[in-house]
């Protein structure tokens, strides 16, 4: 088999300045999202030579898309409430955040010239609400510090000698590195680079990977063609969602959007993990919506009991209950022809309209990903543990490719940044410990 060129012989990867003596450790960061860039920054600040490899033509593409509607960088929740957003992975993510919490993230952005503010919902945004200035300043600072960037380099695994293999516009390439940080994203938004192709590569090397699943996603309800054609894209606000789990009944107010196939939006995203898992175990999930959260059931019953005086049911709902448009359409969709036969029952339905969710939308449409490299397969520094010689030493992982999830609201980005910092620090510490062991081998 033809030998692939090694790192030092490939002109496009030759550092602009030769490494100092003694030779700096080389850290390869694969993936140019927030976790990868933070890992690169951390490792470089500790003295390592760092190369960032990105499959696309530029770094931070999903980060830029996430910032189109206003970059939600983090959240102002206190730490207890903040940490609780990570569910069963709370303890692990909390440990990452101890070293780089939301306040540290805001200070970091300020050092790049980007001030932030807390919105009415508690979410934290840059003053201009844009992602591009922050990303530009960050990449510029990384370059100035000596980090080398290599775009159009798609990682495809390791060769038999443990070299990193890439597909590039100039052909196949093999690269040596002293430590590797994988920050390849999940499986959502594949057009931006997070396509989950790494899953098969790591599984083949014996790494324990939980199946990738959609998170912060919409759900299918299977509307009638009439309802979907008339109301797809219409916002449902304000509404209160009710659901029941092993701990009892819960409620959350917010807003969502009717889609051609079901529902999506911030309220649904906040519940997506629970809804997805319920569907997986029970075949469907029921979400009850209060379409009139500003009125008690007693008042609603009294209002709807007023004489209709020849008015249509739609007009009666609008005048007496403030229900119209998509909310009225939902009542007709769920209750059918019996919608107006019993005003007391109609009031009950307005306060607790059951929607049966059939399935989450496909992974490629989701905002983020659940599943990934199980944290149990790693040490506290996010280094993958040995797998019977199948995996090279010194491989770390960070970001959304790890097995954790969180709702939108700044929690996703915060954990990506913090995990990148943890992996970057872990890689440098591991390299130093290995070098120290080589300098002072154990005596017999």
Residues 116 and 305: their CA atoms lie apart, in Å, by 51
Angle between helices 343-351 and 297-304 (to 10 degrees): 140
What pTM, to 2 d.p., does this model score?
0.90
Let me know: does 220 contact 261? Beta carbons within 8 Å: yes
DSSP string, 136-177: HHHHHHHHHHT-EEEES-EEEEE-TTS-EEEEETTEEEEE--
Count of H-run helices and E-run strands, the chain:
15, 20
pLDDT tens across 13-29, in order? Answer: 333 333 343 467 899 99
Residues 132 and 68: their CA atoms lie apart, in Å, by 9
pLDDT given at position 77: 97
Question: Is 223 a residue whose pLDDT tops 80?
Answer: yes
* Helical ranges in 15-89 per DSSP H: 34-45, 61-66, 79-84
How does DSSP classify residue 12? Answer: G
pLDDT given at position 386: 82
pLDDT given at position 442: 54
pLDDT tens across 142-193, in order? Answer: 999 999 999 999 999 999 999 999 999 999 999 999 999 999 999 998 998 8
In this prediction, residues 290-319 reach a mean pLDDT of: 94
pLDDT tens across 341-353, in order? Answer: 899 999 999 999 9
Three-state secondary structure string covering 225-247? HHHHHHHCCCEEEEEEEEEEECC
At 412, the pLDDT band (50, 70, 90 cuts) reads: very high
pLDDT given at position 388: 64
In this prediction, residues 61-85 reach a mean pLDDT of: 93
Let me know: does 356 contact 284? Beta carbons within 8 Å: yes
Side-chain half-sphere CA neighbours of 16 within 13 A: 10
Is 412 buried (19+), middle (13-18) or exposed (0-12) by CB count in 10 A? buried
Domains and CATH numbers, the chain: 7-214+369-439 (3.50.50.60), 219-360 (no CATH)
Q: What are phi and psi of 153, to 5 degrees?
A: -120, 100
Percentage of the residues of the chain whose pLDDT score is greater than 90: 85
At 221, the pLDDT band (50, 70, 90 cuts) reads: very high
Please give the mean pLDDT across all residues of the chain: 92
């Amino acid at each position: 088999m033809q030998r692939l060129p090694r790192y030092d012989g490939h002109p496009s990867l030759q550092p602009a300045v030769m490494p100092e003596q003694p030779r700096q450790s080389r850290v390869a960061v694969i993936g140019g999202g927030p976790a990868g860039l933070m890992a690169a920054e951390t490792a470089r600040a500790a003295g390592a030579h760092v190369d960032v490899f990105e499959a696309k033509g530029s770094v931070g593409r999903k980060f830029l898309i996430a910032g189109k509607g206003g970059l939600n960088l983090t959240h102002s929740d206190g730490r207890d409430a903040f940490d609780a957003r990570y569910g069963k992975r709370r303890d692990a993510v909390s440990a990452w955040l101890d070293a780089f919490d939301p306040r540290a993230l805001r200070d970091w952005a300020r050092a790049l010239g980007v001030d932030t503010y807390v919105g009415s919902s508690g979410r934290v945004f840059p003053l201009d609400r844009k992602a591009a200035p922050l990303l530009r300043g960050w990449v510029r600072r990384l370059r100035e510090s000596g980090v080398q960037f290599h775009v159009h380099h798609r990682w495809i695994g390791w060769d038999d000698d443990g070299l990193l293999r890439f597909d590039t516009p100039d052909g196949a390439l093999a690269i040596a590195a002293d430590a590797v940080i994988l920050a390849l994203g999940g499986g959502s938004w594949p057009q931006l680079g997070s396509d989950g192709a790494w899953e098969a590569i790591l599984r083949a090397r014996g790494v324990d990977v939980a199946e990738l699943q959609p998170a912060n996603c919409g759900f299918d309800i299977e509307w009638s063609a009439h309802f979907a054609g008339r109301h797809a894209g219409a916002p449902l606000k304000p509404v209160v969602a009710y659901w029941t789990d092993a701990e009892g009944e819960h409620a959350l107010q917010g807003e969502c959007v009717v889609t051609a196939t079901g529902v999506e939006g911030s309220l649904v995203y906040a519940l997506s993990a629970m809804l997805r898992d319920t569907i997986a175990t029970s075949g469907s999930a029921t979400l009850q919506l209060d379409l009139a959260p500003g009125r008690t059931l007693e008042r609603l019953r009294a209002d709807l009991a007023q004489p209709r005086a020849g008015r249509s049911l739609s007009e009666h709902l609008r005048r007496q209950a403030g229900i119209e448009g998509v909310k009225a359409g939902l009542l007709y969709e769920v209750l059918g022809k019996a919608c107006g036969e019993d005003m007391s029952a109609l009031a009950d339905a307005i306060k607790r309209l059951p929607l049966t969710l059939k399935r989450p939308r496909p992974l490629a449409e989701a905002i983020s990903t659940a599943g990934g490299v199980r944290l149990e397969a790693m040490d506290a520094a996010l280094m993958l543990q040995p797998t019977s010689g199948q995996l090279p030493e010194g491989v770390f992982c960070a970001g959304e490719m790890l097995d954790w999830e969180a709702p939108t609201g700044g929690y996703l980005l915060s954990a990506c940044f913090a995990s990148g910092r943890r992996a970057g620090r872990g890689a440098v510490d591991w390299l130093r410990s290995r070098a120290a062991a080589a300098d002072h081998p154990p005596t017999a």
